[in-house]
A and B are shown apart, each in its own frame.
Chain A
């Protein structure tokens, strides 16, 4: 593998924001390499961070630092990506946020970064997002998927109301609902007529399968 790709991976795994940014800058100087570099470099790094989290080797600080490094790299790369390949088709449009009353931002942001790195057009509304804001934004950008996270047992039920609102406002085929967050489960998402993502990596797989 390209040695720079390994360095990019490592910068994300180490959560080294400065190195990730520097590698991204040198990368945009040779634009034809952008896509393989994202995929085999930075995105591979964040996937590795996700694996280390699942394996119990990494904890929240390492996870957040890895996402920060990934985000720093993507901020440099994204403008270049758009100017190089205006015809590059996005895999789909996703509106994402944490539900109202819930201020947890970390897991949701990681999902957003990973979806963007994997070719989706992502609109991140942040945390404590009112149901109406999800719906308005989804209509505005003609979203394929609304992704909503809830980290508290007390805010899980907001996802119930969001599911009902999405069903009412959009036909199921036009706008899927993807749910996640520590207290949520596949059985529960299914009961709400939605799709469940256990973690950030799985969110990419689920989104890809929904829009295939």
Chain B
């Protein structure tokens, strides 16, 4: 185990909560990422902009930032003809994040974008191969941890986790799924329940588990309270900045204010969530506000 991965694992377990970064794809869109271009393509074309976004998060107080690799598995990259660049895109991404000088760089592993039958035509064997390629590239580049994110199917999350733990042993692997509240509780769109899913992932070996994307910080608060009561592992929470709307200029807008977000997330950290950050629509102002709240104490 590398010194970096060891210390990330230890940091998750003790001390102040770890402040992660906010949205990366939406931040790059705000910096002019062209329509239809995958954010990961900018690792090769506009590395300076990617590092600048990471640096804004580090300056705002992020202790760990995610490398720009959410869609950098070969199945997703193939849709843009970038499958062969998988290793390079992941390797370069870790370097771009490292250049912003965060304490930790987390390799981001998103879903394949496919569904298993009957919903889609996904194939577990192909998925395993895709996750293995991405994980190896991220680990070789020196990522301190890996974060499987935005999973809506527990089977895909478990497959990714199993592959990552097997391919790159020793590196802590975090897993976040995307839940929404239904009448009978919180579920993924595939019907996987909150507590059952997180417990399964912990027993499979996840170093931390939690939820990201889709919901607001307020919805995340009630969801995490359920998880805090029932899950014996470090928890990670990264909500969106509200529901996106299109503004008068045609650009996407997220209506939540950084202060509202920060209040909810600082309170969650106070209640025991170990890793707090943001997803789509959150930017460095949200992280700065969160860090300000944490420094001042939640009640301030």
Contacts and interface: CB of A to CB of B under 8 A. Distances in A.
Interface string A131-173: 0000000000000000000000110111010000000000000
B296 interface: no
B81 interface: no
A154 B246 contact: no
B190 A156 contact: no
B55 to A, nearest CB: 23
A106 B248 CA distance: 30
A160 B250 contact: yes
Contacts of A68: 118
Contacts of A205: none
Task: Choose among A56, A185, A191 the residue with the greatest number of B CB atoms under 10 Å from its CB.
Answer: A56
Interface stretch (B164-172, B180-188, B256-264): B180-188
Interface in B194-240: none
B67 to A, nearest CB: 19
A100 interface: yes
A157 B34 CA distance: 12
A188 B245 contact: yes
Interface stretch (A19-27, A58-66, A72-80, A86-94): A58-66
B113 interface: yes
A193 interface: no
Contacts of B119: 60-61, 64, 106
Contact of A103 (B113, B252, B281): B113
A61 B118 contact: yes
A183 interface: yes
User: Could you say which interface size class chain A belongs to?
Assistant: 20 to 34
A156 B189 contact: no
A140 to B, nearest CB: 25
A55 interface: yes
B36 interface: yes
B6 interface: no
Interface in A163-195: 183, 185, 187-188, 191-192
Nearest to B247: A191
B25 interface: yes
A56 to B, nearest CB: 3
B191 interface: yes
B181 to A, nearest CB: 9
B183 A56 contact: yes
A23 B25 CA distance: 48
Interface string A97-110: 00011010010000
A157 B252 contact: yes
B189 A60 contact: yes
B246 A191 contact: yes
Contacts of B36: 100-101
Contacts of B280: 153
Nearest to B25: A154
Nearest to A158: B35
A3 B119 CA distance: 30
Given A55-B183, A59-B189, A153 B246 contact: no
B164 to A, nearest CB: 25
Contacts of A60: 115, 119, 189-191
Interface in B132-180: none
A56 B187 contact: yes
B183 A187 contact: no
A103 B79 CA distance: 10
B267 interface: no
A192 B246 contact: yes
Nearest to A159: B246
A187 B245 contact: yes
Contacts of B118: 15, 61, 64-65, 68
Contacts of B26: 153
B47 to A, nearest CB: 21
Interface in B25-56: 25-26, 29, 35-36
B243 A185 contact: yes
A53 B244 CA distance: 23
B251 interface: yes
For the complex of A and B, 3 pairs with smallest distance between CB atoms: A56-B182, A59-B191, A56-B183
24 contacts: A56-B183, A57-B184, A59-B189, A59-B191, A60-B190, A60-B191, A61-B119, A61-B190, A62-B191, A64-B119, A68-B118, A100-B36, A106-B119, A153-B252, A156-B246, A156-B252, A157-B35, A157-B246, A157-B251, A160-B246, A160-B250, A183-B243, A185-B243, A192-B246
Given A56-B184, A61-B119, 16 more contacts: A56-B187, A57-B183, A60-B119, A60-B189, A61-B190, A61-B191, A64-B118, A65-B118, A100-B36, A101-B36, A156-B252, A157-B246, A157-B251, A188-B245, A188-B246, A192-B246
